Amino acid sequence: MSCSVAVSKSPVFSPSSPLFCPSHDALNLTLTHLIPPSSYPPSPSPSSPFMLRLQKPPTGSLLSSSSVSTSPTACMGAGTVETILKRKRPAKLDIPVAKTTASFGAPKTPCEVRREVESEGDGFSVYCKRGRKEAMEDRFSASVELQGDFKQAFFGVFDGHGGAKAAEFAAQKLRRNILDEVDRKRDKTMIKEAVKQGYLKTDAEFLKQDVAGGTCCVTALIQNGNLIVSNAGDCRAVLSRAGVAEPLTSDHRPSREDEKDRIETWGGYVDLCHGSWRIQGCLAVSRGIGDKHLKQWVIAEPETNIINIESDCEFLILASDGLWDKVSNQEAIDIARPTCLAINKTIDPLVACKKLVQLSVSRGSSDDISVMLIQLRNYI
């Protein structure tokens, strides 16, 4: 019994089609292994629909008969396959490709749509590396010699989400708003309140822009020998005190018990989604500037810590969660300290920043990573 792979009267497989040669040059394909050799039926007639005929190759084919062999048990016809029919290549389809462009205006901070950004100034170094996103969403701010006083400075790292607009806005506006509030309060006991109002004012101004997205912030204001560190979100500040890591901020995440209670008290909920605790199932931080659609629960109010800069205060690390998710506080201090204190006979804080970023990347971080290192002994 023979089985066929042809369709009767098909214009492609019809024996009368000009695609095929006469029967003496055809190769008849049958499933011979299904019947014993003694019961092979006679060869089908040329008009039988149960026959596949292959065209005899033209002279000068690319494949000669010596390069193709046929098995007598598999081929029942008299001819020999000498080549494989070469199909005509279809016409090339011209499919237009849409070009994707991203415009960020003219940002005032150096972190534009680049793979890496580095900067150094009087007493600080910063290094940023873009993750897997098409555009970097981290920003930073650094201002020294505030009001002509070389003992005053302001630094900040801003980790945007849902775009870079909020981070860019905060990097441009937050310093000015905080300093305005500090000058207005005058009372040094009101520093924390002044910083808080600076954050809230920046948040209110950004919300008026009616732009999507938000940003986490960590800032350091150095004034009158004091280090005033504030944060909203999961950017972190870690102090090296005689080589010992001292965190000066606490990450604001929905998994934090007091943050979870606050969110639920105000009618929100915290859910475990994609391996992270998230507000309303979407945002993995509980404080920050922006996030208009979640503003009821994602507040811009910072937590502030004030310490006196003493002789054992060596340097301060401000960094986005791209670092802290992969590198512990003490690890970061241990890696940065040799190049910050000339233990290796060379002071190069920028190298320390790069080492920390590279370590995080080597451990699998795909997030934007920004690391700023501030030499505190310049402000004693």
Any domain includes 247: yes
Structural domain boundaries enclosing 48: 1-86
Any domain includes 258: no
| Per-residue pLDDT tens digits for 287-340 | 999 999 999 999 999 999 999 999 999 999 999 999 999 999 999 999 999 999
Same domain, 20 and 139: no
Same domain, 62 and 183: no
Same domain, 81 and 132: no
What pLDDT, on a 0 to 100 scale, did the predictor assign at position 7?
Answer: 47
Same domain, 72 and 152: no
Sheet holding 369-375, edge to edge: 116-121, 124-129, 369-375, 313-319, 236-241, 244-247
Any domain includes 286: no
Task: Say how many domains are in the chain.
Answer: 2
Residue 99 burial (10 A CB sphere; 0-12, 13-18, 19+): exposed
Same domain, 245 and 187: yes
| SS3 category, 283 | strand
Any domain includes 283: no
Among 6-10, 69-73, 172-176, the range scoring the smallest mean pLDDT is 69-73
Same domain, 39 and 135: no
Banded pLDDT at 192 (limits 50, 70, 90): very high
| Sequence letter at residue 238 | V
Same domain, 129 and 238: yes
Same domain, 321 and 368: yes
| Nearest Cα residue to 193 out of 185, 204, 201, 205 | 185
Banded pLDDT at 193 (limits 50, 70, 90): very high
Q: Contact 174/202 with Cβ under 8 angstroms? A: yes
Q: Contact 268/287 with Cβ under 8 angstroms? A: no
Who contacts 112 (Cβ-Cβ below 8 Å, separation ≥6)?
A: 104, 136
What pLDDT, on a 0 to 100 scale, did the predictor assign at position 86?
Answer: 55
Q: Answer with the residue of higher pLDDT: 148 or 107.
A: 148
Cα–Cα separations (whole angstroms), residue 285 to 173, 197, 214, 300, 346: 22, 20, 10, 11, 38
d(CA 201, CA 206): 9
Average pLDDT over residues 352-367: 97
Any domain includes 268: no
CB atoms within 10 A of CB 374: 26
d(CA 324, CA 234): 9
Asked if pLDDT for residue 102 goes beyond 80, the answer is no
pTM value surpassing 0.75 = no
End-to-end CA distance of the chain: 99
Among 45-54, 86-95, 219-228, the range scoring the smallest mean pLDDT is 45-54
Q: What is the CATH number of the domain that holds 360?
A: 3.60.40.10
What pLDDT, on a 0 to 100 scale, did the predictor assign at position 91?
Answer: 58
Who contacts 48 (Cβ-Cβ below 8 Å, separation ≥6)?
A: none
Instruction: Please spell the DSSP secondary structure of 258-270, one letter per residue.
Output: HHHHHHHHTT--E
Same domain, 192 and 57: no
Instruction: Give me the torsion for CA of 202, 207, 209, 213, rounded to 10°.
Output: 100
Taking the CA atoms of 233, 234, 240 and 244 in sequence, report the sign of the dihedral they define: positive
Half-sphere exposure of 239 (CA within 13 A, CB side): 23
Q: Residue 367: which region, alpha, beta or left (left: phi > 0; alpha: psi -120 to 50)?
A: beta
Structure tokens of 321? Answer: 């969660």
Same domain, 61 and 147: no
Q: Contact 232/288 with Cβ under 8 angstroms? A: yes
CB atoms within 10 A of CB 257: 7
Any domain includes 192: yes
Q: Contact 35/50 with Cβ under 8 angstroms? A: no
Any domain includes 284: no
d(CA 271, CA 283): 10
Who contacts 19 (Cβ-Cβ below 8 Å, separation ≥6)?
A: 12, 55
Banded pLDDT at 78 (limits 50, 70, 90): very low
| SS3 category, 66 | helix
